[in-house]
């Protein structure tokens, strides 16, 4: 029996930077109302899936006067089985739908000294169907722990195979997976999810205008269209509308939520910094027929043998922050990039600028960090 077309919605909410439970509650209540709106408005072809952005509950801070350290983040961390997620479970059960979101600042029993940037999919029975811990946590912006930061110990608890780290669930609306924000800036995470069979990729983001969300350098759009095309999957991308935070511009994350089909075509977009709900029809059987075509099929022509050397040795080092040693601030996270530069310059992949030698390059990061700390734009504690 085939899968009938259904409606998916992407929610672009206004987010308040939360430091209290009341503020988290307000963000959650707003999202619940937007789900109610979307399900009601698109009643003819029922909504079976909703996607929320990264950090939609608690918000996130960046370098400068507003930078939070480990203590501030842990103070607003939640558990994946806590009351906030149960409320979203109630909403999923109410409408018989799946709800996906990301950027949950999650603390776990197994690793209570740190937090993970957690994405999730809740099923129509209200229970947690999938949990994913963000893999590519940007060292210069993300203080949460990646599984890679404590890779060996993480694997003992959750497993570290490609199926453990990048889970996909087989459901009555297709095979669903999720990745978060910076995960989509490089090809590996979406490729791993496609390897595991993903057909609809839920993609929460907190993509910032200062990085490039609009023309002329709209990396959010061109990279995500590429991820959808290369893997022949739907990509449902949710970003913030506006933000309420004294230290951020209102359009810090300026919307541009998108729904991209399995050919890489944008079928719906909210190209402005305001609250919105967008919707598109998801045709799983159309995707499955598309994947039977050999011409420009981006999987059947993959010839793996020549590429193995690229990943034979680590670039960014694993196990930098083992149990008992979580990253305390962004300066500590950024320090890990020095090892990556040693690899990239050391093997000749990167060439130093004029006046620099290969051995100089890792120290560039250390000097920039020290200078920023002296100016007060990166935390020392």
Return the pLDDT at 209: 85
Structural domain including 345 reads: 322-375
Domain boundary among 249, 273, 290: 290
Q: What is the pLDDT of residues 292-306, one digit of tens each?
A: 999 999 999 999 999
Q: Is 309 part of a structural domain of the chain?
A: no
Q: Is 298 part of a structural domain of the chain?
A: no
The total of other beta-carbon atoms located within 10 Å of residue 40's CB is 10
pTM of the prediction?
0.96
Closest CA to 372 of 28, 63, 29, 112: 63
Residues 358 and 224 in one domain: no
Q: What is the dihedral of CA 272, 277, 278, 281, to 10 degrees?
A: 170
Residues 82 and 161 in one domain: yes
Residues 371 and 280 in one domain: no
Can you read off the two tokens belonging to residue 377? Answer: 């734009």
Domain boundary among 266, 290, 314: 290
113 to 62, 71, 137, 308: CA distances (angstroms): 21, 10, 17, 36
**What is residue 200's three-state secondary structure?**
strand
Q: Is 381 part of a structural domain of the chain?
A: no
216: preceding bond cis by omega (within 30 degrees): yes
Tens of each residue's pLDDT in the chain, 381 residues: 899 999 999 999 999 999 888 999 999 999 999 999 999 999 999 999 999 999 999 999 888 888 899 999 999 999 999 999 999 999 999 999 999 999 999 999 999 999 999 999 999 999 999 999 999 998 888 899 999 999 999 999 999 999 999 999 999 999 999 999 999 999 999 999 999 999 999 999 999 888 778 888 889 999 999 999 999 999 999 999 999 999 999 999 999 999 999 999 999 999 999 999 999 999 999 999 999 999 999 999 999 999 999 999 999 999 999 999 999 999 988 888 889 999 999 999 999 999 999 998 888 988 999 999 999 899 988
Alpha-carbon distance 54 to 183, whole Å? 12
Residues 76 and 195 in one domain: yes
Alpha-carbon distance 80 to 137, whole Å? 19
Can you read off the two tokens belonging to residue 115? Answer: 């937090």
Q: Is 313 part of a structural domain of the chain?
A: no
Residues 158 and 26 in one domain: yes
Residues 284 and 338 in one domain: no
Domain count, the chain: 2
Closest CA to 362 of 316, 314, 313: 316
Q: Is 317 part of a structural domain of the chain?
A: no
The total of other beta-carbon atoms located within 10 Å of residue 74's CB is 16
Q: Is 21 part of a structural domain of the chain?
A: yes
Q: Residue 68 sits in a domain of what CATH number?
A: 3.60.110.10
Residue pair 92/127 in contact (Cβ under 8 Å)? The answer is: no
pLDDT > 70 in the chain, percent: 100
Q: Is 371 left (phi over 0), alpha (psi -120 to 50) or beta?
A: alpha
Q: Is 124 part of a structural domain of the chain?
A: yes
Residues 344 and 223 in one domain: no
Return the pLDDT at 73: 94
Residues 81 and 132 in one domain: yes
Q: Is 304 part of a structural domain of the chain?
A: no
* Per-residue DSSP letter, 220: H
Return the pLDDT at 259: 98
């Amino acid at each position: 029996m085939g899968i009938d077309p259904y409606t998916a919605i992407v929610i672009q909410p206004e987010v308040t930077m939360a430091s209290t439970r009341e503020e988290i509650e307000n963000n959650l209540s707003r999202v619940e109302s937007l789900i109610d709106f979307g399900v009601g408005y698109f009643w003819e072809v029922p909504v079976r899936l909703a996607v929320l952005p990264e950090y939609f509950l608690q918000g996130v801070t960046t370098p400068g006067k507003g930078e939070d350290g480990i203590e501030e983040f842990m103070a607003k961390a939640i558990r994946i089985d806590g009351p906030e997620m149960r409320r979203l479970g109630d909403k999923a059960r109410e409408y018989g739908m799946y709800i996906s979101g990301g950027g949950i600042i999650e603390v776990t029993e197994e690793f209570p000294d740190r937090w993970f940037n957690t994405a999730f999919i809740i099923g129509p029975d209200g229970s947690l169907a999938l949990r994913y811990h963000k893999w590519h946590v940007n060292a210069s912006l993300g203080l949460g722990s990646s599984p890679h930061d404590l890779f060996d110990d993480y694997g003992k608890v959750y497993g570290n195979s490609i199926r453990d780290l990048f889970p996909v669930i087989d459901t009555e609306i297709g095979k669903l997976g999720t990745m978060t924000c910076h995960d989509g800036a490089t090809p590996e995470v979406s490729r791993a999810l496609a390897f595991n069979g993903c057909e609809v990729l839920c993609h929460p983001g907190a993509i910032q205008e200062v990085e490039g969300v609009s023309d002329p350098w709209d990396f959010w759009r061109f990279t995500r269209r590429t991820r959808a095309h290369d893997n022949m999957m739907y990509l449902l991308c949710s970003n913030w509308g506006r933000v309420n935070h004294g230290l951020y511009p209102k359009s810090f994350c300026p919307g541009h939520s998108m729904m991209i089909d399995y050919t890489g075509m944008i079928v719906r977009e909210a190209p402005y910094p305001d609250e919105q709900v967008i919707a598109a029809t998801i045709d799983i059987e159309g995707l499955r027929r598309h994947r039977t075509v050999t011409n420009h099929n981006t999987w059947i022509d993959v010839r793996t043998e020549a590429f193995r050397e690229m990943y034979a040795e680590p670039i960014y080092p694993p196990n930098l922050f083992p149990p008992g040693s979580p990253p305390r601030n962004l300066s500590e996270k950024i320090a890990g990039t020095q090892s990556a530069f040693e690899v990239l310059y050391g093997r000749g992949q990167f060439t130093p600028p004029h006046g620099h030698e290969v051995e100089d390059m890792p120290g560039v990061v250390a000097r920039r960090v020290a200078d920023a700390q002296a100016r007060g734009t990166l935390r020392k504690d």
